[in-house]
Amino acid sequence: MLFWPQRKSLPRGENPSSQSKNSEQHSNGNHWKAPQPDYKEGKEKSKSAYAVMTCVFCPTELRLPLTEGRYRCPTCQMCYALKLLSRSPLIYLIAQTEPAKTSYQPPPPKKEKQKMPPPEVQSAFLVLDLTSNSTLIEARANYRKMIQSCHPDKVSHLDRDIKAAAEQKTKKLNEAISVITSFFKST
């Protein structure tokens, strides 16, 4: 993988000749400061430029400092080498040098704990011929299908017993959908 760092332009009013010796001027007039490590008491301070990439073996995002060296992914231990190819323009090569030391397996997907509805909601689901883990959308769709077949206006021309049975069934369906709706609105 090749990496070209983005060039930084000079602040307004700054003269290119006032740049430090670490700066380079390109033929197109853009100026940028080459990343140089800072040293303090023999220890390296943070660098100003990084290469950000995703590990080829696992989904970890790596942030590699732009200095030559070897780096490992903290998750799967995949080894990468960073090599400077050119200073003008600044080009680095990031290459995989050895396979991962561990057999990386992605973490199992998190399962949401599905809480069981209370008994009155479970019985309301049974009235609508649904399972207890059904959604509100499924409950409304089943309610509409069932109410069409037993609505009192659909059976108004039939016998009194059939009308009474249709009214009872409609009342049960209305109670069931109201219990289910209130359960889903409260959660």
- Type of residue numbered 110: K
pLDDT at site 75: 81
Percent of the chain's residues with pLDDT above 70: 69
On the question of a cis peptide bond just before residue 89, with omega within 30 degrees of 0, the verdict is: yes
Q: Is the pLDDT of residue 139 over 60?
A: yes
Overall CATH class of domain 119-186: mainly alpha
Q: Which of 2-11, 139-148, 157-166 has the lowest mean pLDDT?
A: 2-11
Q: Is the pLDDT of residue 126 over 90?
A: yes
Q: 4 vs 141, which has greater pLDDT?
A: 141
Residue among 100, 136, 102, 111 nearest 121 (CA): 136
3-state secondary structure of 83: strand
The mean per-residue pLDDT over the stretch 152-181 comes to 91
Q: Is the pLDDT of residue 54 over 90?
A: no
pLDDT at site 11: 52
pLDDT at site 12: 54
pLDDT band at 43 (very low <50, low <70, confident <90, very high): very low
Q: 148 vs 51, which has greater pLDDT?
A: 148
pLDDT at site 35: 39
The mean per-residue pLDDT over the stretch 26-50 comes to 46
Strands (E), the chain: 2-3, 23-25, 31-33, 39-40, 43-44, 50-54, 61-65, 69-72, 79-87, 90-98
Q: Is the pLDDT of residue 41 over 50?
A: no
* Domain layout of the chain by residue ranges: 2-6+23-98, 119-186
Q: Which span out of 62-66, 96-100, 124-128 was modeled with the highest average pLDDT?
A: 124-128
Q: 81 vs 35, which has greater pLDDT?
A: 81
pLDDT at site 145: 93
